[in-house]
Structure 1
Amino acid sequence: MENIYQHFRKDERHFIDQVLEWKETVEHHYSPKLTDFLDPREQEIVSSVIGEHLDVKVAFFGGAEDTERKRAFLYPDYYQVEQEDFKLTLFEIQYASKFIQLQHRHVLGSMMGLGLKRAKFGDIRFHDDVVQFICAAEISDYLKVNFHEIGKAKINLKERSLTEFIVSNEEKQELVTTVASMRLDVIGSAIYNISRQKIQPLIENGLVKVNWKPVEETSFECREGDTLSIRGFGRSKITSVEGKTKKDRYKIIISKYK
């Protein structure tokens, strides 16, 4: 057990235990297990824990191949996985687009305001005036009955085929820089070109996330593969840590999303 834990951070142990429970359920009952939506880091953990297990396999799907948030489907090795096993629903939000401009936080905030967990929703996408989102099929009827407004704006939901999901157009640029340490405040300052004095209160006030989880410690040690997001500044990923320079600074490669 400790051999599994040593590859992850301490705060990820609870989720690892949950994944092990899912695996045991599939093993002992010979029946599949469908999870809620997982962020990319959680997907990495599930893949690592399940690994090359002979009796239990795992597949991920979030409505399209390029989705960020996906449901995991753990299944016995004899099972043939179908897209329908992931139980997903795609909704398009119909609203007065001439007068209202919706943003991701408005849509998600209103859905969460219905008392539903974030884990029941997948990606939310925008293209021009079109707004769509993926959700777990088990809450689709509840949304149809209760989700009628975003803020003060009246909306309607129209169910669409998954094949109509908006294609992601997220762009990214590669940045190479050096830092004195892998502390969160140091990394964030270098990526977003803001002072440590400015980024520290953002971290302490819960406005900075590492791997989709708020981190409030400025001294938090970042690692290769971590995804960082700062409210109002965007999202980035530490693609690679290339070792140290002659001046004893870490050389890092960053993927910065526009």
Structure 2
Amino acid sequence: MVASFWCRRTGTATFVTPHHGPRSRRLRISHTQRLGQHTTALRLQLCRQNQRRIFRAQIKAATDLLPREKVLKSLESAQVADDVAARLVELASRAVKNFQVVTTDFFLRPNEFFGTKRVLSSLAFVGMTGSGGYATAERQLAAFFPKEFALTVEQEQQVAVSNCDSQLRVLEFSGNFLFDRASHSDFLGAVLGSAGLRRERLGDIIVLGDRGAQLIALQNDIQTIQESVVTVRSTPVQIRVLDSLAELEVRPPRSKTMTSVEASLRLDAVASAGFGMSRSKMAEIISAGDVSINWVPSKSAAKSVAEGDTITLRGRGRLEVVAIATTAKGRYRIEMKRFT
């Protein structure tokens, strides 16, 4: 016979038997430990539920979940169009209010995607991830989620795959372009002109040389594109939908790591060293608006570059600033990785 004593103050129970000896002691310890573990699990569950209630109460009490004007102003500085910025803020607010993942039905350009993600990262309630069909895609769908989810990097990637990639399909344009080469612009123009779609409805285009190209598009637009596009330039094309995103023929970017010592962190100094051209020539290119920092065009050659920045030169690839260290003489040793 086993008797139990419950302590309401500590939330534990002790089991005793009328007999004494090693067996009864083991029984008492075993029952106490099991009940203690169960009680701990219940307390953790109640704690999580309480945290969720507090989070929801904070949201309901907040007069402005997203500081709309502040966010819109920040997005404007990242050169995100006003109409796009307004739509993104609305979707982010909906994700927080409804406690769910909300995905865009249009693709974002690099400056729009990374600019928005950078702005939202400082907010307490909403997070952002996204995908464009493959790891290095330029144009991506965005997915907003409540920060209550407390997602890890791996979990954010799962959210992107399940909510963004599930909307994407790959169209392959096949034709004989051996004697009439078609460029990225040719395929883009054929789709936009024939199907009547806006650029934001289309993802990246991967040109396959004289064989044709692959286009990432939204599932809802697949039929329209297939029925509308007949030729690209003067070449007839056949369009088929690939079974999965894994069939994309993406060429891995070539990279080269380099180190340069510069007197300053000016954009013209760092970019000229990374892309291998004179500083005066780079200053001219910057003034023409062909250089971007973190996908935001910059016409100031004197703008400072920081560790982690990505410098993009139109038609020449991109440059990542990996690390910056100061030498004994007060100069800057800059480690860079160039992608072409």
Query: TM class, shorter-chain normalised?
Result: 0.7 to 0.9
**Residues 112-160 of structure 1: per-residue CA shift (max 9 Å, x gap):** 5666544333232245635212122343334334434444444332221
Deviates more, 1:215-224 or 1:87-96: 215-224
Cα distance change, pair 28–10 in 1 and its aligned pair in 2 (3 A): closer
Pair 1:177 & 2:260 matched: yes
Cα distance change, pair 10–51 in 1 and its aligned pair in 2 (3 A): closer
Structure 1 Cα separation of the partners of residues 239 and 202 of structure 2: 15
3-state SS in 1 of match to 2:143? strand
TM-score by length of 2: 0.60
Q: In the alignment, what sits opposite 1:73?
A: 143
**Residues 177-216 of structure 1: per-residue CA shift (max 9 Å, x gap):** 1223232222221112211222233222232233334333
Structure 1 Cα separation of the partners of residues 294 and 219 of structure 2: 26
Structure 2 Cα separation of the partners of residues 232 and 46 of structure 1: 25
Amino acid at match of 2:132: G
CA shift at 1:72, angstroms?
1.6
Pair 1:244 & 2:323 matched: no
Deviates more, 1:143-152 or 1:197-206: 143-152
Structure 1 Cα separation of the partners of residues 332 and 277 of structure 2: 18
Cα distance change, pair 252–50 in 1 and its aligned pair in 2 (3 A): same
In proportion to residue count, which structure has more helix?
2
Deviates more, 1:12-21 or 1:97-106: 12-21
Q: In the alignment, what sits opposite 1:100?
A: 180
Max radius of gyration: which structure?
Answer: 2
Structure 1 Cα separation of the partners of residues 307 and 240 of structure 2: 41
Cα distance change, pair 249–107 in 1 and its aligned pair in 2 (3 A): farther
CA shift at 1:233, angstroms?
2.6
Tell me, yes or no, if the aligned pair for 1:16 and 1:49 is still in contact at 8 Å: no
CA shift at 1:9, angstroms?
9.1
Tell me, yes or no, if the aligned pair for 2:114 and 2:294 is still in contact at 8 Å: no
Tell me, yes or no, if the aligned pair for 1:227 and 1:236 is still in contact at 8 Å: yes
Pair 1:24 & 2:24 matched: no
Deviates more, 1:168-177 or 1:33-42: 33-42
In the TM superposition, what are the counterparts of 1:155-174 in structure 2 within 5 Å?
155-162=237-244, 163-174=246-257
Tell me, yes or no, if the aligned pair for 1:89 and 1:135 is still in contact at 8 Å: yes
Structure 2 Cα separation of the partners of residues 182 and 72 of structure 1: 32
In the TM superposition, what are the counterparts of 1:115-154 in structure 2 within 5 Å?
116-127=197-208, 129=211, 131-154=213-236
CA RMSD of aligned residues (A): 3.7
Cα distance change, pair 192–112 in 1 and its aligned pair in 2 (3 A): farther
Amino acid at match of 2:77: D
Cα distance change, pair 21–224 in 1 and its aligned pair in 2 (3 A): farther
Structure 2 Cα separation of the partners of residues 109 and 206 of structure 1: 24
Cα distance change, pair 193–139 in 1 and its aligned pair in 2 (3 A): same
Tell me, yes or no, if the aligned pair for 1:66 and 1:168 is still in contact at 8 Å: no
CA shift at 1:173, angstroms?
1.2
Name which structure has the greater RCO, CA cutoff 8 Å, separation 6+.
1
3-state SS in 2 of match to 1:178? strand
In proportion to residue count, which structure has more strand?
1
3-state SS in 2 of match to 1:23? helix
Cα distance change, pair 222–11 in 1 and its aligned pair in 2 (3 A): farther
Q: In the alignment, what sits opposite 2:132?
A: 62
Structure 1 Cα separation of the partners of residues 257 and 184 of structure 2: 25
CA shift at 1:43, angstroms?
4.3
Amino acid at match of 1:99: F
CA shift at 1:49, angstroms?
5.0
Structure 2 Cα separation of the partners of residues 83 and 232 of structure 1: 30
Tell me, yes or no, if the aligned pair for 1:19 and 1:49 is still in contact at 8 Å: no
Q: In the alignment, what sits opposite 2:21?
A: none
